[in-house]
Amino acid sequence: MKIIENKFKKVADFCFALFRLAELPLYRSRYSNKLFTQFQHLFLLVYKQYRKFTYKELLEDLSDNLGLRAYLGLNKLPNYTTLIKFGKRLPSIVLDKLVTAFKTLFQRPKKVAIDATGISLDNASPHYCKRIGLSTKKRPFMKLSMIVDIVHYTILACKSRKKARHDVLDAKPLVKKLSKQYDPELFYGDRGYDADKLFELVTETLGAYPLIFQRRQDIPFHRRKGTYRKRAFRTFDYGAYLQRNKIETAISILKRKFGFSIRSRHHKLQLVEITTRIIAYNIDRLIESGKEIIVLTLRIMRVSY
């Protein structure tokens, strides 16, 4: 139990660092009753993803974990409805700031890749859905698009949506967001991201070389469309492109460690749950890589706050 407590104290330190780097106030409003800080609520949501708990299971676990409660400064536990209300009121821009704040803790990414995956919104099996006679054959899911550093397997940017949409439409804002924080050298993508506008964004805005696999390899060069697509096709290295598969490893780690589905029913809470899962994943990658010096520095920052 001591080892688990130490691990989650490190998680608390990283959450506190994100809170500081994102420059968020301790309380959302000057009229707050100041019973709980935003940092405490944020950590509880991230801790919930780590342990794969429901809100009630989370509070039951913390009621027995006195050491972690004392480390967080929780004299009493909030009601589970308090965490739900906090998640519903949490602005989306705050979630973006928290993911962006990892820039200071990550190493400079040289190779990044983009891909999308589905997060199920229902824990029921396909057999159960068939037996109860669901009207739709397609199970509901959240589409999660993300850009990953395929060297350190950290998630640099992400975007979630509930309805299906073409990969390129979600990739454009992600590339623009990434260009403001990072400057990678190589950008990998499968044929779902084959669009000349995306090639242009990666080359001109991001300043990286686009290793995006193009459709219809049998079409001769003079019949291809798009200035940037033709330029990339001429120098495309298929051997180097095979490293794109590493993003599948990152997706697999995310789902195996933190779950294949989310339990929230409210759309805003679904977005919050996915983003806090991304935060938990990135913190886990930092801890697994042995960032002990960073952890000690964060504890000093925590005391001096």
pLDDT at 296: 53
Q: What percent of the chain has pLDDT over 90?
A: 48
One-letter-per-residue 3-state SS of 158-170: EEEECCCCCHHHH
Please give the full DSSP string across 185-212, using - where no structure is assigned.
SEEEE-GGG--HHHHHIIIIII--EEEE
Residue 5 in this model has a pLDDT that exceeds 60: no
User: Which structural domains are found in the chain, ordered by start?
Assistant: 2-90+263-304 (no CATH), 104-250 (3.30.420)
Is residue 296 left, alpha or beta, with left meaning phi > 0 and alpha meaning psi from -120 to 50?
Answer: alpha
Please give the Cα distance from 157 to 178 (Å, whole number). 7
Taking only the tens place, the pLDDT of each residue in 243-290 is 999 999 999 999 999 988 888 888 899 999 999 999 999 999 988 887
**Rounded-to-integer distance, Cα 248 and Cα 246, Å:** 5
Lowest-confidence region among 79-88, 211-220, 291-300: 291-300
Residue 99 neighbours by CB under 8 Å, 6+ apart: 155, 157, 158, 275, 278, 279, 282
Say if residue 22's pLDDT is above 90. no
